[in-house]
Amino acid sequence: MTLQKVKQEPINLQSALKSDVRTQFAALCFRVVDDKTQVLLITSRGTGRWIIPRGWPMDNKTPSEAALTEAWEEAGVKGKALEATLGLYSYTRTISGEEVPCVAMVYPVKVKSVEDDYPEAGQRDRKWLSPQKAAKRVSEPELARIIKDFDHRKL
């Protein structure tokens, strides 16, 4: 997989227009233990499926900064987000009872620590897995491919 190395600019939400497809920024949180890569999955609050932290664009933050913020809020992760996107995946999200198409751009986050006290503690489960096992747990095929192909040595 080729990484896209593009200079990111903060998003100005004042000038943003609504569209039918919503964009989110996601964090593929990883660590290396005994020379083996592990990725962090969390459960969604609604259905309990395994996902990665993701959220909406944030005013005056780059996409990778927004992904890092979501990693903190949803998983208690402190670390460093890289600006190179690993790819994107699509999914459908239910918002106010309506099915809304979404795309999520995935950014790698090198985890320095995982805290027990964070904004959504108690609302989600967290689990460290090998990329192969994590890829089997997520529902979205494009996300599964991104996780399965992930190699921190190529960053």
Count H helices and E strands in the chain, helices first.
Answer: 3, 8
Q: How far, CA to CA in Å, does 96 sit from each of 37, 75, 100, 104, 143?
A: 37, 24, 10, 19, 24
| Cβ atoms < 10 Å from Cβ of 79 | 19
pLDDT grade, residue 101 (50/70/90)?
Answer: confident
Total tally of structural domains belonging to the chain: 1
pLDDT at residue 94 is higher than 60: yes
pTM of the model: 0.88
pLDDT of res. 109: 98
Q: Which of 18-22, 29-33, 42-46 has the lowest mean pLDDT?
A: 18-22
Determine, yes or no, domain membership for 20.
no
Domain holding 72, by residue range, is: 27-154
Determine, yes or no, domain membership for 9.
no
Instruction: Work out the average pLDDT over 78-98.
Output: 90
Alpha-carbon span 66 to 16, nearest angstrom: 16
pLDDT in tens, 115-150: 999 999 999 999 999 999 999 999 999 999 999 999
pLDDT at residue 18 is higher than 60: no
CA 120 remoteness from chain centre = 15
Percent of the chain with pLDDT over 90: 74
Instruction: Work out the average pLDDT over 48-73.
Output: 97
pLDDT at residue 54 is higher than 70: yes
Tokens representing 7 are 């200079």
Assign residue 57 the CATH number of its domain: 3.90.79.10
Determine, yes or no, domain membership for 84.
yes
What are the φ/ψ torsions at residue 111 (nearest 5 degrees)?
A: -80, 130
Determine, yes or no, domain membership for 149.
yes
Determine, yes or no, domain membership for 119.
yes
Determine, yes or no, domain membership for 81.
yes
Q: What is the mean pLDDT of the chain?
A: 89
pLDDT of res. 17: 47
Instruction: Work out the average pLDDT over 101-127.
Output: 96
Contact 109, 79 (CB under 8 A): yes
Alpha-carbon span 27 to 68, nearest angstrom: 6
Integer Rg of the chain from CA: 15
Contact 27, 109 (CB under 8 A): yes
Determine, yes or no, domain membership for 6.
no
pLDDT of res. 96: 85
Alpha-carbon span 127 to 141, nearest angstrom: 19
- Residue 114 is which amino acid? V
